[in-house]
Every structure is written in structure tokens, then in C-alpha cells.
Amino acid sequence: MAAQLPSDFVWGYATASYQIEGSASTGGRGPSIWDTFCKIPGKIRDGSSGDVSTDSYRLWKEDVALLKSYGVNAYRFSLSWSRIIPLGGRDDPVNEEGIAFYKGLIQELLDNGITPYVTLYHWDLPQGLHDRYGGWLNKTEIVQDYVNYAKVCFTAFGDLVQNWITHNEPWCISCLGYQKGVFAPGHKSNTEPWIVAHNLILAHAYAVKLYRDSFKASQGGQIGITLDCHWLMPYDDSPENTEAVQRGLAFKLGRFAGPIYEGAYPSRVKEKIGDRLPEFTADEIAVVKGSSDFFGLNTYTSQIVQDGGDDETSGYVKIGHTRADGTQLGTQAHVAWLQSYPPGFRKLLNYLWETYKKPIYITENGFAAKNENILPLEVVLHDKDRVEYFEGYANAMLEAVHEDGVSVKGYFGWSLLDNFEWADGYETRFGVTYVDYATQKRYPKDSARALQKWFTEHIAA
Ligand code: GBH
């Protein structure tokens, strides 16, 4: 008999508000920094935006029916802050239409036996807060406004939602938005990413404190953060490259996981960043340390690491997928940064469990098969590379659980639908469902059936 995951194992798909909702200026929604960013020429590969996307603000019932047909027991989605509080701030009005939209979605999920996992912040900061005081750069203002937004959400939805995720991938928010400038708001700075990262950690921690102090007892849920990380492997066994792996992990993961799970920034980060790294007060770090009930992990690939280079976001290491003997790690995706490598996933799960000792939810994992933007539909629907990716990663997860004793509670594939893939626009497709953007018709790919079959066979009755 195939190895079994426990009967309460959570599985489903993930999406994010700006990537699927569309209706960017209807239903009372205020603009976000992504609406603004998409208008800057050259920032989005195909010149597109999330104005329409998969039109899920209007087609949400169809999306839930699709989830149901895929046999999932959970769905991870994010709330659009500027749909709920159009200007974003603690003294700004709440948009009841936005609240009603998400209540309808949540109720529909529950009526179909699908448990909601709700992300508060998946990158779409209200433009109003960015304009008013610099958004994530302003510690006193943004922490209060984020906590107020969280309070509005816990109050409105918390009787129905027992699984909360504060931020999605703070590394991307701070490093890609404020250091490399490839994500909104498109800043290029060496100081701002560290300030933003610090303020993201504080906003997360104070929202968790509010939940634990005022909502958890009556609503009975859990709350944590989602971090993104690849598994890192040294190019060879030289001391420099061995150290480069540790530094890479500290800069990618430890800069958030250190404060949140252990109560301090990693020493490797402190040494390199010096005065540019803000400090927590004693009161703050007491709130930050232990502020996540679980380890939310988004992971897609593994990287081979060499010492050197000038990329501070990755910790002054060079990253690639080519081994010293010239071979590739695995199957290449449509995007340069992603190759399939299931053994690295198993290693990463072991590392996280040993290091942070928290039950893990894989909140995103997925693959963009090549050329799905240009191939004929009948070819795209047989997405063999994605099927192999998902089966390889699911089996690696099962080995981590069964053979290594890692605590993994849930798994969300990225993504339910092809959708707006940020700076790649619509050229890169991650969905298990093909979306024809001209008609908004949805077509299941083979991978949707493959994952359904895998989880049906591996979750105990
Ligand atoms: C996730 O990020 C996101 O949460 C999700 O919204 C997204 O659609 C999904 O992945 C697929 O990309 O500028 O060199 O870092 C995963 C992390 C961040 C990896 C952006 C790719 C672009 C190349 N991704 N990164 S780089």
C-alpha cells in the first residue's frame, strides 16, 4: 500500500488578489502600488497589468466550482487591502462592498467543504499609504495601519476563517520592490530594503499579537507568516562555497526567520550590513520572537551556490542550476530561475524542521511549463513537465514526512489558474488550469488531474 498522509492533511491551490481579481477600479476598490507600477513603461514584460487578469472578482463562483471539481480540501487566497480599505489607513473608511465580496467567497468555500487559508498581504499595498507617508518605509505609520487592517479582517471574517497568513514573501517585497526595483514600487536602494524588511517584521508581529490577545480565544484559529526559500547547494566542497551556502540562507531566509523564530537577525547579516540594519527595541523583539504558529513555506527550486558577486539580496553569492561537471539540476521551466529538483525540496523541509521546529505548511509550490503562452491549447493541456514536477515534489514531501519525520501539515500548488505573473505579465503560466484571456474560459490541464489522483491515493481515509 502507498504511504499515507494523515486524514487531516490539508491540500489545495493558492492564488493572490492582484494576480486574479481584476476589477481594479470597480466595487469601490482603491488603487494599489501594483496598479501604479504596471503603468511604468518597461516594468511589465508584455506591457500588461492586473486590470482584468482572470476576472475572478466576477467569476469567483466558477473558481470555487473548479476547486471543488479538483477534489481539494483547502484554498489559499489573499485579500486586497485597498478593496477593504480603499485608502488603506486607520482613519480611512471601510468599503462594505469589499467585505461583502470576501464574505461571499469564504461562505461559498465552506459550503463546498473547502477550508480557507487567508493571506492578508500579497504585495498590493494601498497607493494611498505609499503617497501619504512612504508606505512600508514609515515604521510608526505602517505598523499601525497594517494592524488596523488586520483587525478589520479578523472582525469581519474571523468567525469563518481559522487560518491566517500575515505576509507573503517579505524577501520579495523588500528586495525586489526596494533594492532591485523589479517589483512595485520599483525603488533601487541599499538602505530601504532593510528598513522595509524590518517594518514588515514588526507589522506582522503586532498583527499576530492582536490576533492572539483579542481574537484567538473566541475564533480559535492559527496565524503565521509565509517565507520564500530555495534549497542551496555548494558548487564544490571548498570552504568559500560551503560558507556561501550558509550566507545565502541567512540573507534569503534567516533575515526574517531569525527574528521571528529565534529572536535575532543572523550574525552573518549583521556583519555585512552593519549600520544599515535597523535594531529592534527590547519591547519589539519580545513581540517578534515566536510570532508565527507555523512555518509557511513557498518554494519552487534549488540553487547551486558560489561565493562572490555583488548581489546583496542573495547574500553576495552567485546562484545557478549548473553543476561543476556541467550537468543541469533538472527540467528547465519557462522562466530562467526555475528548474525542477525534488531532492532539494526534501532537504529544505528537513532543514526547516530541524532549524525552526515548527510544523510546515507549503503555501506555494509549482512549475511554469515552457511556451504555454504560444503553444496550441491541445498541447498545453498535456503539461507533462508540470505533472512530473508535482509528482516529484509530492513524493519528496512524503519521504520527508514518512522517512525523515518532518512535520508537514499542508500543501498548496501554485496556482489554481494561469494568472498575472507580476513582471512577466501573462507570458508565464503557472496554472493547473489554462485560462483563455480572450474569453475567460478555464480549461483543466493534466496536472490538475495528476495532483488530485496523487492526494486521493496518499491521504488516509
Ligand atoms: C511566488 O514567488 C509568488 O508568491 C507568486 O505570487 C508568484 O506568482 C509565484 O511565486 C510564481 O513566480 O527577480 O531574480 O528573483 C516566488 C518567488 C520571486 C521567484 C520573483 C522569481 C523573479 C526572478 N519569485 N522571482 S528574481
For 406-459, the pLDDT digits (tens) are 999 999 999 999 999 999 999 999 999 999 999 999 999 999 999 999 999 999
Q: How far is the CA of 332 from the centre of ligand 1 (A)?
A: 15
Instruction: State if residue 168 touches ligand 1 by the CB under 6 angstroms criterion.
Output: yes
Average pLDDT, the chain: 98
Residue nearest to atom 8 of ligand 1 (CA): 421
Residue nearest to atom 7 of ligand 1 (CA): 421
Ligand 1 atom with least separation from CA of 172: 18
Instruction: State if residue 368 touches ligand 1 by the CB under 6 angstroms criterion.
Output: no
Instruction: State if residue 21 touches ligand 1 by the CB under 6 angstroms criterion.
Output: no
Instruction: State if residue 16 touches ligand 1 by the CB under 6 angstroms criterion.
Output: yes
Ligand 1 atom with least separation from CA of 180: 13
For a pocket test of ligand 1, which of 15, 298, 318, 429 has the largest count of ligand atoms closer than 8 A to its C-beta? 298
- Max distance between CA atoms of the chain, in angstroms, equals 60
For residue 245, the model assigns a pLDDT of 98
Domain over 10-458 is classified CATH 3.20.20.80 = yes
pTM, entire model: 0.98
For 36-74, the pLDDT digits (tens) are 999 999 999 999 999 999 999 999 999 999 999 999 999
Catalytic residue set:
364
For 210-268, the pLDDT digits (tens) are 999 999 999 999 999 999 999 999 999 999 999 999 999 999 999 999 999 999 999 99
Q: How far is the CA of 172 from the centre of ligand 1 (A)?
A: 7
